[in-house]
Amino acid sequence: MCKTCKENPVIIIQGNKPLCKGCFMKYFEKKVFWTIRQYNLIDKKDIIAVGVSGGKDSLTLLYLLNKVLTPQKTKFFGLLIDEGIKGYRNITIEDAKKFCKENGIELKIISYKKEFGNTLDEMLKQKKINACALCGVLRRYLINKYARKYGATKIATGHNLDDEAQSILMNQLKGNMAFSAKLGPKTGVLTHDQFIPRIKPLYFLTEKETTTFSKLKNLPVTFIECPNHKDSFRDEVGKMLSNLEAKYPGTKQSVVNSLLQVLPSLAKQFKGQKIGTCKKCKEPAAKDLCKVCELLKR
Ligand code: SF4
Ligand SMILES: [Zn+2]
Ligand SMILES: [Zn+2]
């Protein structure tokens, strides 16, 4: 029975609490709006580029941001990166287009093919390289570049609690604490005038909760996974975390909480990192060339 109103439950949320449809929808929206306020994610004058993939997280995010930003007249638009992954991205793009059209939201689409000359599928055929390692670098680069080009002051992404717990553990397992310093509901350790800060309004909601929300709201989501995901380190860490969560509920939340506890000191430690400008493309870079120009050179 629903903990709050005694109706039939549709989900058991964090903390082992069963909730009915009405109470769950209220809980979900409240938590997102609380995160936005608590962490000062959005200022009225901001222009928000919402990273859209067409999946459940990004369409849930777009739905909620539309609900909160439109009445207060804060500008926002969807920004979709088309990597060119056959049988996957071509499907989710259609979902994103449909949602944006129905809700009158502007959607800008940038493709690897146009920007880099090849789709991700074509690049992977030419070179043996981990798909996600390459794809992640290229996608982050394009999102930042085009969000800035279109005048955005913040980039909102649909990362949820599961994604964050995975990132924290991946960094820990690879000894990349400098990367963890960039996590949290609002990023911004690395400062460079070309870097657009990133915000994660779904930060405290689990994957199961966003999936349930998107289904109950009837968002046009096709539940498919990128064919490259199963070969990734993230997938392996994700499975490990889910196994632990099943045995010890609250594990994912604890991983995220521990990061939040040490984040201020981590941020302090890594704040001094110098970020320069890529000699070739003029985007932010830690070395002479940014990661993308280095990868494309190779
Ligand atoms: S799973 Fe990997 S290859 Fe697929 S979209 Fe995500 S980062 Fe790119
Ligand atoms: Zn209820
Ligand atoms: Zn570059």
pLDDT band at 192 (very low <50, low <70, confident <90, very high): confident
Which one, of 179, 182, 160, lies nearest residue 170 by Cα? 179
- Is the CB–ligand 1 distance for residue 135 below 6 Å? yes
Distances (CA, A) of 168 to 4, 7, 191, 213: 33, 37, 21, 25
Which residue has a Cα nearest atom 3 of ligand 1? 132
Q: Which atom of ligand 1 is nearest to the CA of 53?
A: 5
Residue range 85-110: mean pLDDT, rounded: 97
Q: How large is the greatest C-alpha to C-alpha distance in the chain, in angstroms? A: 62
pTM reported for the whole predicted model? 0.94
pLDDT at 297: 83
Q: What's the angle, vertex CA 116, arms to CA 138 and CA 130, rounded to 5?
A: 45
Give per-residue pLDDT as tens, 248-290.
Answer: 999 999 999 999 999 999 988 887 667 889 999 999 898 899 9
Residue 187 has pLDDT above 90, yes or no: no
pLDDT of residue 222: 96
Q: From CA 233, how far away is CA 166, in angstroms rounded?
A: 10
Q: Which CATH superfamily is domain 41-297 in?
A: HUPs (3.40.50.620)
Nearest ligand by distance to the CA of 295: 3
What string of DSSP letters covers the chain? --TTT-S--SEEETTTEEE-HHHHHHHHHHHHHHHHHHTT---TT-EEEEEE-SSHHHHHHHHHHHHHHTTTT-EEEEEEEE---TTTHHHHHHHHHHHHHHHT--EEEEEHHHHHSS-HHHHHHHS---HHHHHHHHHHHHHHHHHHHTT-SEEE----HHHHHHHHHHHHHHT-HHHHTT-SSB--SS--TTPPPEE-TTTTS-HHHHHHHHHHTT--------TTGGGSHHHHHHHHHHHHHHHSTTHHHHHHHHHHHHHHHHHHHHTT---EE-TTT-SEESSSS-HHHHHHH-
pLDDT at 33: 96
Domain boundaries, the chain: 41-297
Is 134 a pocket residue for ligand 1 (Cβ < 6 Å)? no
Among all ligands shown, which has an atom nearest to the Cα of 112?
A: 1
* Ligand 1 mean position, distance from CA 241 (Å): 19
112 neighbors 138 (Cβ within 8 angstroms): yes
pLDDT at 3: 80
CA-to-CA distance for 11 and 114, rounded, in angstroms?
A: 43
Name the residue among 192, 178, 150, 146 with its Cα closest to residue 284. Answer: 192
Model pLDDT for residues 208-254, shown as the tens digit of each residue:
999 999 999 999 999 999 999 887 899 999 999 999 999 999 999 99
Q: Is the CB of 226 inside a 6 Å radius of any atom of ligand 1?
A: yes
